[in-house]
């Protein structure tokens, strides 16, 4: 009979006490695993794995706000850029992809963010090696829309559904008359795309109020490029030319909507999603520095501000939770110490008999230490299963409320340290009881 078998039988004799002690360890490990897995998923969403672009170009302002509004769509846009700036920027050497996005409106139902963009948005991976999948098709015409999986579920929308946009968000209360038809529903991505409605950029510009008046557009564009202001006469002449060029020679019938091309000075983009050509590996930092020194726009690596947010806010929360769960495990370890130590007085005769039958002091010490290790490791393994089980039960609830896709069996590398740490803890808490058994006097024990 080996020493582990003897230790196991000894624990079975105190089954209730042993089970409760091991369960205390399991609870601590369960909470720690849940914290690690959920934090890992959130870190993945706010990290490189969930962003398929090298840069975000937008108006001057806060780096973090630009990323939050453009990628995560949880912050109002800073300002807008002239459409001409986007057109010129995408022609720069080394720019592989430049995709415009126009933000600011929300859905009438559910208050989901609207993102006006081009079909090219869906032609590129939304994250490294993860491409968009859709039920239906991606939009091709101005008044078509593609909706995220969370939008479809929450609003119970399907292919063919018509939706309206609320100008500037729900607080304004102004609902546009134009309707967009849902032609595609995205498969779940676990990213903010799941809670977004995408509309064709041409249709977005065709909405009443989304096209700037000619004079405002001209003044805005000249100020952006730091050009001299036009005199009232020159401005009126420019407006007259544009009015004639983009005049509509027919009337709209009630209840109908038409696409009309508008002047470039009337268009704006909120931001530009940029992928640089791999042949120019240093282009991204060069663009960041170049635009930082200029006055027109800024270029932001989307990872850096989010990493700072994670480290400064969520990282502290994770550390606090890990400390708390670590304390729970430590208290459970103390419970193991108390349980084994208190049993020593009742086991004095048992230990003396083992010694009288030839067991060495080191053998008795090892058996007590093995009991402590079995309790800690057994509780730890149970905690690993319970931790992933807890995440498994919480996954559909979290997905329904937040749209986050959670893999309950996702394994975090830090979990590999739990069992070795528990073995060390077990060795520490089992040392004193083991030493007590080691010093047990055979004659005194047999006479007790």
Q: Are residues 210 and 321 in the same domain?
A: no
> Residue 86: what pLDDT?
95
Q: Are residues 17 and 75 in the same domain?
A: no
Q: Among 2-16, 311-325, 328-342, 430-444, which is the least confidently predicted range?
A: 430-444
The whole-angstrom separation of Cα 186 and Cα 34 is 29
Q: Are residues 317 and 241 in the same domain?
A: no
- More confident call, 343 vs 169: 343
- Kindly compute the dihedral angle of the four CA atoms of residues 222, 223, 227, 228, in this order, to the nearest 10 degrees: 100
Q: Are residues 377 and 250 in the same domain?
A: no
Q: Are residues 116 and 26 in the same domain?
A: no
Domain count for the chain: 2
pTM of the model: 0.71
Q: From 254, 276, 301, give the residue that closes a domain.
A: 301
Q: Are residues 26 and 90 in the same domain?
A: no
> Residue 276: what pLDDT?
92
Q: Are residues 401 and 431 in the same domain?
A: yes
Q: From 284, 301, 318, give the residue that closes a domain.
A: 301
Q: Among 175-189, 209-223, 335-349, which is the least confidently predicted range?
A: 335-349
Q: Are residues 226 and 373 in the same domain?
A: no
Q: Looking at residue 262, what DSSP letter applies?
A: -
Could you write out the DSSP letters of every residue in 305-355?
Answer: HHHHHIIIIIHHHHHHHHHHHHHHHHHHHHHHHHHHHHHHGGGHHHHHHHH
The whole-angstrom separation of Cα 91 and Cα 88 is 5
Q: What are residue 56's phi and psi, to 5 degrees?
A: -120, 125
Q: From 243, 274, 301, give the residue that closes a domain.
A: 301
> Residue 298: what pLDDT?
92
Q: Are residues 29 and 75 in the same domain?
A: no
> For 362-392, how does the pLDDT look when each residue is reduced to its tens digit (9 = 90+)?
677 777 788 888 888 888 899 888 888 888 8
Given pLDDT bands bounded at 50, 70 and 90, which one contains residue 81?
very high
Q: Are residues 385 and 290 in the same domain?
A: no
Q: Are residues 146 and 269 in the same domain?
A: yes
Q: Tell me: pLDDT of 36 over 90.
A: no
Q: State which residues form the domain around 67.
A: 51-301
Q: Are residues 73 and 165 in the same domain?
A: yes
> Residue 254: what pLDDT?
46
């Amino acid at each position: 009979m080996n020493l582990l078998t003897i230790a196991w039988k000894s624990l079975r004799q105190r089954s209730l006490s042993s089970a409760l002690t091991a369960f205390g360890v399991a609870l601590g490990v369960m909470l720690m695993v849940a914290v690690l897995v959920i934090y890992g998923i959130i870190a993945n969403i706010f990290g490189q794995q969930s962003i398929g672009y090298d840069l975000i170009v937008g108006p001057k302002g806060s780096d973090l706000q630009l990323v939050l509004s453009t990628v995560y769509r949880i912050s109002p846009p800073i300002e807008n850029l002239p459409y001409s700036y986007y057109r010129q920027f995408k022609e720069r050497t080394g720019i592989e992809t430049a995709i415009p996005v126009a933000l600011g409106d929300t859905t009438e139902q559910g208050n989901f963010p609207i993102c006006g963009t081009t079909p090219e948005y869906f032609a590129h991976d939304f994250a490294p090696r993860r491409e968009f999948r859709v039920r239906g098709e991606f939009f091709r015409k101005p008044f078509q829309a593609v909706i995220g999986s969370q939008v479809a579920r929450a609003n119970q929308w399907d292919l063919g559904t018509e939706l309206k946009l609320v100008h500037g968000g729900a607080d304004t209360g102004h609902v546009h008359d134009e309707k967009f038809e849902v032609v595609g529903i995205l498969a779940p991505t676990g990213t903010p795309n799941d809670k977004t409605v995408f509309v064709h950029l041409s249709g977005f510009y065709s909405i009443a109020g989304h096209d700037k008046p000619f004079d405002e557009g001209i003044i805005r564009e000249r100020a952006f490029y730091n050009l001299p202001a036009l005199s009232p006469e020159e401005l009126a002449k420019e407006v007259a030319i544009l009015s004639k060029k983009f005049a509509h020679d027919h009337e709209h019938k009630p209840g109908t909507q038409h696409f009309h091309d508008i002047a470039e000075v009337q268009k704006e983009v909120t931001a530009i999603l940029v992928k640089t050509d791999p042949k120019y590996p240093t282009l991204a930092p060069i663009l960041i520095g170049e635009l930082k020194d200029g006055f027109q726009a800024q270029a932001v690596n989307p990872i850096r501000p989010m990493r700072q947010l994670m480290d400064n806010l969520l990282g502290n929360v994770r550390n606090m939770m890990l400390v708390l769960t670590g304390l729970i495990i430590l208290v459970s370890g103390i419970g193991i110490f108390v349980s084994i130590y208190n049993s020593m007085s009742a086991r004095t005769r048992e230990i003396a008999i083992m010694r009288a039958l030839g067991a060495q002091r080191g053998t008795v010490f090892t058996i007590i230490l093995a009991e402590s290790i079995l309790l800690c490791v057994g509780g730890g393994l149970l905690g690993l299963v319970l931790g992933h089980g807890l995440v498994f039960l919480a996954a559909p609830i979290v997905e329904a409320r937040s749209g986050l896709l959670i893999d309950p069996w996702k394994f975090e590398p830090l979990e590999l340290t739990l069992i070795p740490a528990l073995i060390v803890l077990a060795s520490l808490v089992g040392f004193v009881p083991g030493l007590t058994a080691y010093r047990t006097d055979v004659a005194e024990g047999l006479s007790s």
